[in-house]
Homo-oligomer: A and B are copies of this chain.
Amino acid sequence: MIIIAEKLNGSIPACGKAIAARDEAYIKRIARQQANAGSSFIDVCASVNEGELETLKWMIDLVQSVTDLPISVDSPDVNVIINALDYCNRPGLFNSVSGEGGKFDIAFPVLAKPEYSQWQVMALLCDDTGIPKTAAKRIEIFETVMEKAKSYGIDESRIHIDPLIEMLCTTDEGEGISMLIEVMTYIKTNYPTVYISGAISNISFNLPVRRLVNQAFAALAISAGMNSGVLDPLSKDLRGVILAAEAMMGLDDYCSEYTTAFREGIFTA
């Protein structure tokens, strides 16, 4: 699984405080910990009311001072992301676009340029009407993403789809995560080179012992094709469950990745 490390995000209280205090040591420490835990991308989200671009630059510079991992440049504002791309030493993840506010037509022309051809992009399956309640509508937005990407010459293998993981405790009666699984299964079946992603811990909002809900969800999502995830790479049990689920899906012969990760301390007894 592609691990998009989520801990450098101003909306997390401890990180927000560190950003406000321009605590360089904090940013570097969390970046290093996440890199050492085998992340694929280090997500960087300022989540500030003013000076977002400048804050992102400060964070990105600090992260890049301690790790060579690619950055996931994370903002609700596509123009901020576009302006921050050049702060990155190497191609990373454009996080994110969606059907809201014509973002695809702003972001995709940029991602189509030769200098950004190695960048990947996260696309959220929502639009100007908000977060769709049905699988059909999310799939419709997904197809729009794919059409738009194709029209700009952006290869499927550069695209991560966030089908929008919502809290389990308020799903409709008898539904559980069936709608999400339907969307994931559709993507996996029809566009096997597209990454299926999402913020795993969203599933457990407002529930006790969130880690267990996250673990159960990760296993089920992996079985539906999830192969990228925004998560805390330092959640050792979650990492172990993800690797175990991948082995169960036939993606890790003789559990060699699972046992190697254990030896490397990615998860522990």
Contacts and interface: CB of A to CB of B under 8 A. Distances in A.
A178 B262 contact: no
Contacts of A255: 168-169, 207
A240 B177 contact: no
Copies in the complex: 2
Interface of A is mostly: helix
Interface string A227-252: 00000000001001110110111111
B259 A241 contact: no
Contact of A213 (B169, B244, B249): B244
A248 B174 contact: no
A245 B216 CA distance: 6
Interface in A206-232: 207-209, 212-213, 215-217, 219-220, 223
A248 B203 CA distance: 10
A108 interface: no
A220 B215 CA distance: 11
Contact of A250 (B175, B250, B253, B268): B175
Given A216-B248, A217-B244, A174 B253 contact: yes
A258 interface: yes
A249 B241 CA distance: 18
A173 interface: yes
A202 to B, nearest CB: 13
A198 B174 CA distance: 25
B223 A220 contact: yes
Query: 6 tightest CB-CB pairs across the interface, nearest first?
Result: A176-B250, A212-B240, A216-B244, A219-B219, A216-B245, A208-B262
